[in-house]
Structure 1
Amino acid sequence: MSNDSGSRVVRFLRLAGNHDLPIPSYATGGAAGFDLRAAVPEGDPTMLAPGQRLLVPIGFAVGLPEGYEMQIRPRSGLAAKHGVTVLNSPGTVDHDYRGPVAVCLINFGSEPFPISRGDRIAQAVIAAAPQFTLAEVDSLDETDRGAGGFGSTGVS
């Protein structure tokens, strides 16, 4: 990120009714992603049935520096152990969005998955997202790969 110290700050606005949830945070000093927690109602867990997708709020809105995005990604343990993942992975929160943030989860597992208030349901990574000039052209430069698409470079 830039030398401007303000550009290294991601601001989280706590939404009403979420005073009990901690601000998103990094689990370790070397973590690339920070944890996002479920802001589902207190009490009985919200059940995510096999094959079901669910938009789970995190209880915060976010203010990102211009030129950056927040990528929402699965937590590896949920995916490996339970088959629960982020459906539109990675999900993107644009720097100019100021509404509530939610995570679109899906259960690819064979058992219902309980989601309780405060559970770590996803992780987020801040990444550069520059905008480019988009232009229509009459032709593209030649490359070794050319128009070879899916699988064209082999598997080994």
Structure 2
Amino acid sequence: GAITGVISIVSLPLLGAMVDFTPYRKQIGMFTAMGVVLIKFFELGLGPNTWFFVVCLQVVSSILYETHMATMESYSAELSDEPKEQSTYQSVFSALIFASMFLYLLEVLIPSVVMHLDDIQTARWAILVAVINSAPLFRVGWM
């Protein structure tokens, strides 16, 4: 958490400038989406001997995710020039984000309880569900 925060403080202004003032917004969104999914895939190897490696991956994943969110917000601002229409888009996007979080929670908790998974098994299940859900959605969103 603290390491990610410090790196974000230093790097986010530069990344924000790249997102806002260069024509590479879509490529940055695609790269960060792909990076987050790949890191989640590697995190499936989570175990007692891989905790440190997974923590390092989490730092990179957090930075990529923050950059992805900045790119998404910047990209969505270009959907319309009309404030009312832009407000409608943002409202719909927010509702979709919260609904998807709720569905993800159900997708992880219900099987974890039913199958009596321990902590590491639950973490692996959560990562697998995240990869399966996000990979196609990121592809549709950025292609």
> TM-score by structure 1 length?
0.27
More helix by share: 2
More strand by share: 1
Instruction: Identify which of structures 1 and 2 has the higher relative contact order when contacts are C-alpha pairs closer than 8 Å and 6+ apart.
Output: 2
